[in-house]
Amino acid sequence: MSIDKEESIDVRVVQVDVSVLPPGAKTYASVPGLTLDHFDLRLDGHRLSAEQRAKVKFDALCEKLDPADQTPPPPIPIIAVVDFNYVDARGRFRVAEAIDEIAEKAAEGPEIYKIYGLTQQVRLLTDGFTKDPEALHQAAEVVRGTSFRGGEFVAPGTDDVPEVKKVTLQDLAEAFGPSPINIFPDEQSAAEAEIVMNTLYFEAQRTINPEASMAALEAILRAHSNMPGAKAVILFSSESFRMLRVERFDQAVEGLRELAKLGFRVWTVDVEGLSRRESGASELLSLLAQDTGGQSIRRTGRLTQAFEGAAEQLSCHYLLSLPVPSSTRYTQKHTLVVKIDSDKYPEMWKYRVIAPSQITLPSLAAVRRNRRIAALLSPEDFNDPEVVTTLAYPLEIGERSVLPVRVRAALRDLTWLPDSRGGVRARVLVDAVVLRDTGRSAQPVCELGAEKTGPIEIRLKRRPAADSTAGIAIQLPCLFEKDGLYTARGVITDMETDLSGAGQSAAMIRRKGEKEWKIYAPRVQAASGRDFLWQPGAKTIQRDKARMVARQVNAHDPATVADRIFLRYLLCGPDASQAGVRMRHFLLRLVEGQAPQVIQAFSPETLHLATTGAEGPFCAPGLLAVAEYSLEPGNYAFAVLDATADPALASQIPADPDQDLPEGVLARVGFQVLP
């Protein structure tokens, strides 16, 4: 199904960053004081006419030169991407040293830094843009730590969760094309299994297709495409960043050329260039820098030069705004030549001009598709609307095992417009993919592409209230065959704003069971019955009257008295037939300053356990439900006790969730109920 059927010819304003350097310049800051008259502009080989030049807007973007001007300069955003696939241990030490060096003087200048690490996944190593020296030193320590086999690649805020081993990229799915995957625990989606992470794959893999890194780099740029002004992106790689087929260069760089017009300057750094003089430069790295107006650095003893040069370039440069005819349905490419007009200014004929050499104007469909792909690659950078992706433990349905996956967004976060049939409507696109780590590749298990499903429409009588908990949920039942590390990613795109939100969830699923009774990932969920549910193959979206869609209950999204409340967990033990009598479930009322009060003890038959009926050790998801309008507003907690424990322990459980549980108490999870 086609998403974009209408075509129109329009004039699109393309912004091109230009720097002009004098002969022998020791700085990357442009020569100040130039005007449009200094430049000779040629589009597709033809010099712009006087009429065309009259429509070109020219801006000089340089720091104020007046020492008396105390206005602080605008921040200069610099994004650094360390590609671990091509940077060896020696190179990682050098990159870490460069980050440490900029950290020492980060507080003094206008530069703000954001640092990513790239294996076969995109990982943010700083908490957004920062000038904090401690945060930058911490990122440097992460990079340095990956130089040791068996070390842990730990980013800030991950509570020392080690990374995944040998997660490589192969054939993400037909609907999306090749893309890196990103596997991290998601607190909001709370996968229904114990999340087990292994050590990072630290060896640089020279057999990796650089198109995977290119896709990840493009995703990072797209995540920042709405930032105003010029931005520098520094890719730390090596001369091994090559493509054997030169004819594929143009296709690989196409997306980055498109993004160059949004103010991105890509700097590429060959961190091995100094130690491997006998090797040749990577043409792909050079092309990346050339086609985006950046610089390619090689054979330098100071990698800090990339940070300094990028900051200098953005401190003084020029912005040309060119009106170019474009089509909304077809992608168009143009060559661009920007040079000094030496006929008018012969004294400047040796000056070097740095500017993109090609312009790509993608179709509206390509823009939307590329943005959604970027959200799949780097979900943490896309949160409008906020999306929660849930990966659940396999369920036995008939003779098959099904891995339930759900992608959900709140209705209040969507854009609602008047509907011709009355009321209001919203339209969204949905993309989802589930992958299993095989040790050598990320094998697609199932996928859902918006190109195949088309827009999904929701119609309401009135716009959702700002505090509404109702949402839209897309459920994807995936066939489950083998134990392993699974990752689910989902993207919901608001078609009225073209903004995308993404979520992810990961779980190591093992069905071998346990010799002792254990509970993993206990959590509370709530189903309002006001959600809309859509599944592949359904003709229309339906209201969830059966309350099949449950959202995660937390401090930011508590339950209400009208919700059906669920306790969910993964139960493992020696014998499934004994689970009902072995577990005791209690509902506690929590009042500040008082001991927990048991208000309900559940009978064994109220526990729904999705088991296969096989004998011996098992693992299966457990479910306990409390009917809507059963609880008054207040604070509550579920407690699960071993049958051998004294039931009186239920009222003695510490109210503080951070305190250790008494022996015999298998789980305790609190929640809040609002009116």
Indicate which CATH number applies to the domain containing 153: 3.40.50.410
Do residues 165 and 280 share a domain? yes
- pLDDT(35) > 60: yes
Tell me what the mean pLDDT of segment 52-79 comes to. 78
Tokens standing for residue 527: 């189903």
Residue 660 included in any domain: yes
Within 10 angstroms of residue 88's Cβ, the number of other Cβ atoms is 18
Beta strand residue intervals within 119-211, DSSP E:
122-124
Residue 319 included in any domain: no
Exposure class string for 127-164: b at 16+ Cβ within 10 A, else e: eebbbeeebbbbbbebbbbbbeeebbbbbeeeeeeebb
pLDDT digits (tens, 9 = 90+) for 421-480: 999 999 999 988 888 876 655 677 888 887 777 888 999 999 999 888 889 998 888 888
| pTM over the 0.95 mark | no
Exposure class string for 229-268: b at 16+ Cβ within 10 A, else e: ebbbbbbbbbbbbbbeeeeeeeebbbbbbbbbbbbbbbbb
Q: Which domain holds residue 464?
A: 176-198+382-510
Do residues 89 and 112 share a domain? yes
What is the per-residue pLDDT for 250? 62
Of 69-78, 167-176, 504-513, 611-620, the one with minimum mean pLDDT is 167-176
Contacts of residue 496, defined as CB under 8 A and 6 or more positions apart, other chains included, come to 415, 417, 426, 427
Residue 296 included in any domain: yes
Indicate which CATH number applies to the domain containing 575: 2.60.40
Residue that wins the pLDDT comparison between 210 and 314:
314
If we measure between CA atoms, which residue out of 193, 196, 174 comes closest to residue 183? 196
Do residues 455 and 560 share a domain? no
Q: What ranges in 162-296 are assigned the alpha helix state H?
A: 210-223, 249-260, 283-292
Contacts of residue 297, defined as CB under 8 A and 6 or more positions apart, other chains included, come to 267, 268, 269, 270, 273, 303, 305, 306, 309
Do residues 447 and 594 share a domain? no
Do residues 203 and 301 share a domain? yes
- pLDDT(196) > 60: no
- Judged by DSSP in three states, 544 sits in coil
Q: How many domains does the chain have?
A: 3
**If you ran DSSP here, which 8-state letter would residue 286 be given?**
H
Do residues 520 and 566 share a domain? yes
Q: What is the DSSP string of 373-389?
A: HHHHH-GGG-BSS-EEE
Element (H, E) at 405: strand 400-410
Residue 65 included in any domain: no
Residue 271 gets the label, from left (phi > 0), alpha (psi -120 to 50) or beta, of: alpha
**If you ran DSSP here, which 8-state letter would residue 130 be given?**
B
Residue 639 to residues 606, 624, 654, 662, 673, Cα–Cα distance (Å): 14, 11, 11, 11, 17
Do residues 578 and 647 share a domain? yes
Whose structure tokens read 């592409």? Answer: 449
Indicate which CATH number applies to the domain containing 430: 2.60.40.10
Residue 537 included in any domain: no
Do residues 450 and 557 share a domain? no
User: What whole-number distance in Å separates Cα of residue 67 and Cα of residue 64?
Assistant: 8
User: What whole-number distance in Å separates Cα of residue 89 and Cα of residue 129?
Assistant: 26
Answer whether 494's CB lies under 8 Å from 426's CB: yes
What is the per-residue pLDDT for 546? 86
